[in-house]
Amino acid sequence: MSSLRQAGIGWFAAAVVTFLAATVYVLVAIYTGSNLGDARDDTPLLLLGCAGIISLFGWWRDRARSSALAEEARQEQEKLESELRDRDKALNESRGQLESVREREAEQRRAQEHIESRLEEREKSLSRERYLRSRSEEAYQAEKDWRQQLNVELTRMYRERGSLADPGDIPSMVLRLTKTLLGAEKGLLLRRRNEDGDGKLDLVAAEGFESDPQDSAIVQRFAGEVVEHDRTVREENPAGKAGQSTQTDEEIENLVAIPIYLQEEFSDVVVCANNPDGFDDYDDEVLASVSDQAGAMLQNAQLQGELRASYLATVSVLADAVEVKDPLLREHSEDVFNYVTAVADRLELSQKRREELLFGSLLHDVGKIGISERILLKPADLTPEEFAVIKLHPHIGYRLVQQVPALRPIAPAILSHHERYDGGGYPSGLRGEEIPLEARIICVAELLQRDGRRSPVSRTYVTRRGVRRARASRGYAVRPRGSAHLRGGGPAQATRL
């Protein structure tokens, strides 16, 4: 572009010089009086004119080329500016996308940090579980020689008592087993709760002491040392080393005090005393194993107590719901419960089966919660359709109690308490020994209660009449030669319900 501009200037300068030369030539010719019309004299002038024209043409051509190139340059510049704007726009979009990517990356980092935090918490939880598992395995190794005895005791207790039994005597069992395992003659279990506010550990259970060990200075001192130092304490002849002592202290020849933990928190102290060979032969690992096992048993007792309270609350709620549905049903259930209690005592059932039977008698009509009050409280006789609805209540009650794990054993009794020995009952038409014993007992109790509810005379007279009614029901409602307990038969005959 610069070279074209310079060439154009050159051509223009040549044209100007040529025309100046021609002008000078003409002026000289005029001044000298030369004849410009002579062809010979006009030749230089023609040459100068042609040269000027050529120079002007060259200048014009270069000017046109320069303009064309300038236009091309302008268009190219506009194109470049457009491309530059497009690139700036693309760059801004890229920056926006980059910012969005950075925001997503930040969110991902935050999510990753959250996940890592959760993983760290999970790892801590797993570490704790591994620690507890390790402790459990160590305890198992330390107690493997007498684990079977503990399991036998626990199995026997739960088999006889059931899940609804009161776990209040488990601390005494824990103390008795610990005392036996350590070969001690005496023992007591102290709790840290200080419920009486005297600043001392509370006595929960005691065995083998001739006097009350509650105020034993030695026991409280060593138990306090266990609490303070969080370790097992052994001592030989503690009474001789003590200052003032009680009568209980005089009974103690040697002792070991062991801390017990519930869920990794200090809870109790078990003190075993008077091993003829002393307690030095038991190393800390064995005593720690005893502590862990005792803690586990007490923890199970605590959980069982909470579970029992929950189940009893469930039973109470269901009973209240029945009463709300029909107030007479509560009275009916209580009367049946009283009759069943008498029968259960006469049959000498196990504690577990007895409690299941009693709860079954309380809740045998719980299915009527699902029956309309219009039918339940109808004063007139029921129509066949209404009675068909009433007959649904065993199934409804069965499904209700099946939702509570501890009440599932009584579900068959609730389902079958309207079955009859001859197969004429409902809902399944069971007959004979197909009917569960608990259902048969509740059936007889209902026969007794029905007469008691309808009669205004004394309970004794009503009960006797109910017995006669039950005996009259032999063969279709109860076993033909059953109900022996109703006429004074013993447990052997009573099982023939």
- The answer to whether residues 229 and 242 touch, using CB atoms and an 8 Å cutoff, is no
CA-angle at 196, arms to 189 and 202, nearest 5°: 10
CA distance 398 to 261: 41
DSSP assignment letter at 381: P
Third-level CATH fold of 326-494: Hypothetical protein af1432 (1.10.3210)
pLDDT at 489 over 50: no
Residue 22 pLDDT grade (very low, low, confident, very high; cuts 50, 70, 90) = low
Task: Please name the helix (run of DSSP H) or strand (run of DSSP E) that holds residue 198, with its range, or none.
Answer: none
pLDDT digits (tens, 9 = 90+) for 346-359: 888 887 788 888 88
Share of the chain above pLDDT 70, in %: 61
- List of long-range contacts for 107-115, beta carbons under 8 Å, 24+ apart: none
Other C-beta atoms lying within 10 Å of the C-beta of residue 110: 10
Q: Which residue in 402, 400, 336, 340 sits closest to 368, CA to CA? A: 400
95-117 pLDDT, tens digit each: 888 888 888 888 888 888 888 88
Please give the Cα distance from 390 to 376 (Å, whole number).
8
Q: What is the pTM of this model?
A: 0.46
More confident: 476 or 424: 424
Q: Give 277's DSSP letter.
A: T
- pLDDT at position 385: 92
Measured at the alpha carbon of residue 224, what is the angle toward residues 221 and 230, in degrees to the nearest 5?
135
Q: Which of 364, 360, 362, 363 is nearest to 349 (CA)?
A: 360
Ranking 254-268, 333-347, 471-485 by mean pLDDT, the lowest is 471-485
Question: What is the rounded distance in angstroms from the CA atom of residue 489 to the CA atom of residue 94?
Answer: 98
Euclidean distance between CA atoms 408 and 412, whole angstroms: 8
Contacts of 295 (CB under 8 A, 6+ apart): 260, 261, 262, 267, 268
| pLDDT score recorded for residue 470 | 46
In contact, 474 and 483? CB cutoff 8 Å: yes
Query: Rounded to whole angstroms, how far apart are CA atoms 217 and 268?
Result: 17
Q: What is the pLDDT of residue 142?
A: 53
Instruction: Tell me the CATH number for domain 147-304.
Output: 3.30.450.40
pLDDT at residue 443 tops 80: yes
Rounded to 5 degrees, what angle do the CA atoms 482, 483, 487 make?
130
Alpha helices in 215-281 (DSSP H): 217-229, 238-241, 247-251
**Overall size of the chain counted in residues:** 497
User: Please, which residues have CB within 8 angstroms of residue 250's CB and are 6 or more apart in sequence?
Assistant: 239
Give the mean model confidence (pLDDT) for residues 280-309.
Answer: 67
Written as six digits, the tokens of 279 are: 């307690």
Cβ neighbours for 301, distance < 8 A, ≥ 6 positions apart:
167, 170, 171, 174
Q: 410 with 360: CB under 8 angstroms?
A: yes
Does the pLDDT of residue 415 top 90, yes or no? yes
Higher pLDDT, 263 or 464: 263
Tell me if 4 sits within 8 A of 65, measured CB to CB. Answer: yes
pLDDT of 184 over the 80 cut = yes
Residue matched to tokens 């004794």: 460
Residue with tokens 């268009």: 75
How far apart CA 308 and CA 144 sit, in angstroms, is 30
Label the pairing between strands 265-273 and 186-191.
Answer: antiparallel
d(CA 185, CA 170): 19
Residue 144 buriedness (CB in 10 A; 0-12 / 13-18 / 19+):
exposed
* Confidence at residue 431, expressed as pLDDT on a 0 to 100 scale: 87
Q: Which of 372, 393, 378 is nearest to 446 (CA)?
A: 393
How does the average pLDDT of the chain come out, rounded? 73
Omega within 30 of 0 (cis) for the link into 427: yes
**pLDDT above 60: residue 428:** yes
**443-470 per-residue burial string, b: 16 or more CB within 10 A, e: under 16:** bbbbbbbbbbeeeeeeeeebbebbbeeb
Q: What share of the chain is helix, strand, coil (3-state, %, to 5)?
A: 70, 5, 25
Q: Which one, of 454, 447, 487, lies nearest residue 470 by Cα?
A: 447
